[in-house]
Amino acid sequence: MFNKILVANRGEIALRVIRAAREMGIQSVAVHSTADSDAMHVRMADESVCIGPPSSAQSYLSIPSIIAACEITGAEAIHPGYGFLSENAGFVQVIEDHGLTFIGPTAEHIRIMGDKITAKETMRKLGVPCVPGSEGGVATLEEARRLGEEIGYPVIIKATAGGGGKGMKVAGTAAEMERAFQTARAEGKSNFGNDEVYIEKYLTTPRHIEIQVFGDGKGRAVHLGERDCSLQRRHQKVFEEAPGPAISAEERARIGKTCADAMADINYIGAGTIEFLYENGEFYFIEMNTRLQVEHPVTEGIFGVDLVREQIRVASGLPMSFQQEDLKINGHAIEVRINAEKLPNFRPCPGRITQYHAPGGLGVRMDSALYDGYSIPPYYDSLIGKLIVHGRDRPEALARLGRALGELIVDGVDTTVPLFHALLGEEDIQTGNYNIHWLEHWLETNLGDG
């Protein structure tokens, strides 16, 4: 096992990794920008290194600075958290070239899943059900038109390098194909330097269901069920739960085994998430994320396992501490993302926290790097906390969420907390009756957002 690891991230996820390391008797090194000298992750780590000015490009994304911080402190491994360098195959390569260990998947797996055409082709060959569509890339408008007729409208054109909804255009009819095809290509080129696109049947009212997988890199892999992350605004998740309210135990076991077997086949190592659209009882693969996700705590809640601890274990060469038979779901968990944003337009709202009080009690987990008097810098993501509740069943978790939100105090900045109070009053939220379009529709109707 490692003696010391470096955490190449900030905020709540940096604390999450430092906490796992401490429980394992591993020393932690924080890195930070000059804007984060007073940040909680710097205070909580055993050591810290300033790696650059405020801009992410010159600090949390600066590979040479992070490698230098490892060399200065003697850290043997790097945990990337989520975002920043977590899915950067070149970073993994540099880490290995310096004799260090990346706590995450191989550069090759990151590369395969980072290109969506390659990811889909790989998953299809592994027996994972995919959205009907083109086999590989579509190079010409003529081919796109032919496929539109073959698949049947509506179709969606996606940039292979796309992300966050960029480089994705729906063509509802043949008449809309030219514009959708050219726009998706142009967005792929300008945002990701890659104009390759592919085409899929457009599913009109699916849920976003993602399967948590975990591998040891040696041909063993398990699944930890699904999360329903359908409640999103502009491709940002705001509310996530596990298990999914629409997924049966039989469906879970079946798609879960398909995913676990696929990961075993490719010797996947560490945590991964296989994203599906779910409609009319069918799962359709769309993408795989080769990292620990923001919403991993809901899975930890219902399975009672520490995913970061497992990541560190397998990265050091140890086996996973559980097998599939050991993984049993207990109750229900819900996460809400608390952002420093002003409603109704979700405008980022950095500033000084004059008072912070975290909720507590049975079944309540608050992952946050806030403290009284902390100033949220304007340079980074507006996520300031995640409130995760666990109950014996979904109604109990919902009631607990309402109770915990009532205890939470974040003064000095606007937050998304009022949104969650309002959502808890909605019958569709109470019954789990929602899909990927529900929240945007609700926001438009109730806040005039959009």
**Residue 130 beta carbon to ligand MV4: minimum distance, rounded to whole angstroms:** 10
Question: Under the criterion CB under 6 A, does residue 235 sit at the interface with ligand MV4?
Answer: yes
Q: Which of 10, 220, 291, 337 is catalytic?
A: 291
Question: Under the criterion CB under 6 A, does residue 286 sit at the interface with ligand MV4?
Answer: yes
Work out the angle at residue 230's Cα, subtended by the Cα atoms of residues 224 and 232, and round it to the nearest 5 degrees.
125
- With a CB cutoff of 8 Å and minimum separation 6, the contacts of 194 are 159, 160, 161, 188
Q: Which stretch binds ligand MV4 (CB under 6 A): 1-9, 17-25, 195-203, 329-337?
A: 195-203
10 assigned to active site = no
Question: Under the criterion CB under 6 A, does residue 231 sit at the interface with ligand MV4?
Answer: no
Distance between CA atoms of residues 279 and 287, nearest Å: 16
Q: Which stretch binds ligand MV4 (CB under 6 A): 88-96, 196-204, 372-380, 403-411?
A: 196-204
Question: Under the criterion CB under 6 A, does residue 184 sit at the interface with ligand MV4?
Answer: no
**Nearest Cα residue to 255 out of 286, 233, 299, 223:** 223
Question: Under the criterion CB under 6 A, does residue 177 sit at the interface with ligand MV4?
Answer: no
Q: How many Cα atoms occupy the beta-carbon half-sphere of 325 within 13 Å?
A: 0
**Residue 131 beta carbon to ligand MV4: minimum distance, rounded to whole angstroms:** 4
Site for ligand MV4 in 320-359 (CB under 6 A): none
**Residue 359 beta carbon to ligand MV4: minimum distance, rounded to whole angstroms:** 28
Of 64, 74, 152, 165, which lies in the binding site for ligand MV4, with binding defined by CB under 6 A?
165
Question: Under the criterion CB under 6 A, does residue 232 sit at the interface with ligand MV4?
Answer: yes
- Helices (DSSP H) in 126-196: which residue ranges? 141-151, 177-192
* Cβ-contact 69, 100 below 8 angstroms: no
Question: Under the criterion CB under 6 A, does residue 287 sit at the interface with ligand MV4?
Answer: yes
**Nearest Cα residue to 18 out of 76, 26, 313:** 26
Applying CB under 6 A, what is the total number of residues that bind ligand MV4? 15
Tally: H helices and E strands in the chain: 15, 22
Kindly list the distances between the CA atom of residue 292 and the CA atoms of 150, 212, 213, 245, 253, in Å, as whole numbers in the listed order: 37, 9, 10, 22, 22
Distance between CA atoms of residues 260 and 113, nearest Å: 16
- With a CB cutoff of 8 Å and minimum separation 6, the contacts of 64 are none
Which residue number, 170 or 186, has a Cβ lying nearer to ligand MV4?
A: 170
The single-letter code of the amino acid at 406 is G
Question: Under the criterion CB under 6 A, does residue 211 sit at the interface with ligand MV4?
Answer: no
Site for ligand MV4 in 256-285 (CB under 6 A): 277
Which residue number, 60 or 198, has a Cβ lying nearer to ligand MV4?
A: 198
* Cβ-contact 51, 63 below 8 angstroms: no
Q: Which stretch binds ligand MV4 (CB under 6 A): 65-73, 135-143, 201-209, 266-274?
A: 201-209
Of 5, 211, 413, 436, which lies in the binding site for ligand MV4, with binding defined by CB under 6 A?
436
Strands 221-233 and 236-242, by their bridges, are antiparallel
Site for ligand MV4 in 80-139 (CB under 6 A): 131
Of 18, 29, 156, 401, which lies in the binding site for ligand MV4, with binding defined by CB under 6 A?
156
Which residue number, 205 or 248, has a Cβ lying nearer to ligand MV4?
A: 205
Question: Under the criterion CB under 6 A, does residue 159 sit at the interface with ligand MV4?
Answer: no
Q: How many Cα atoms occupy the beta-carbon half-sphere of 291 within 13 Å?
A: 19
Q: Which residues are catalytic?
A: 291
- List residues near ligand MV4 by CB under 6 A: 131, 156, 165, 168, 200-203, 208, 232, 235, 277, 286-287, 436
